[in-house]
Structure 1
Amino acid sequence: MAKTPFLLRGHARADLVAIRKYTIETWGNDQWLSYKKILLQKLQSLADDPEIGIQLKDVADNAYRFPLKDQVVYYLKRKSDVVIVGILSNSMAPEQHVLRQQDLTQD
């Protein structure tokens, strides 16, 4: 079965850079490499089966979130791919970080 592509929007890439920096500073590069592998596998799983997440109908019909360890992944399900719009700490308020109109409307 072909894998569904996923894209990381600019904000999600920035979130990933921050997670990387924090993980390396706190636990070292080996831990980052281990976590990165798990994270990329989970992002691919979300792309392959996006409806396993929790739908955010108050945001958009195609908006979802999925808890992953200490983060929550926010993403959009589209016809041929999934767009990751944010990867936030559980303690962060998503409305201040992820729910950006340009992420919801750009194809």
Structure 2
Amino acid sequence: MHWIIYAVDKPSMLPTRTANVDKHREYLAAHPIRTLISGPLTDDAGTNMTGSFFLVEADSRAEVEAFNRNDPFWSLGIWESVDIHAFYKRVDDRAGAPQ
């Protein structure tokens, strides 16, 4: 099943985020939950990171919640809010993407 994680940063956390991005990336790479798409949310100019977006594959909400709680960005208190939603893909126009 696909899940979306939409996490908004606390306004003052950009320096902490930047200093710990390698730990965050290492965690994502090592975790058994498959991350299909992820990256930072940004302001409209694309210059300041304001949060995180993930599209992941997992069997249950509980797995996604645990995945999120163990992320270094969570434990460092970077995110002000985190929303998790089940997602049903209807269209994917990326080249080679399964429909």
Q: Which has the higher strand share?
A: 2
Larger % of helix: which?
Answer: 1
TM-score class normalised by the smaller sequence:
0.3 to 0.5
Alignment TM-score, normalising by the size of structure 1? 0.34
Normalising by the residue count of structure 2, what TM-score does the alignment of the two structures yield?
0.36
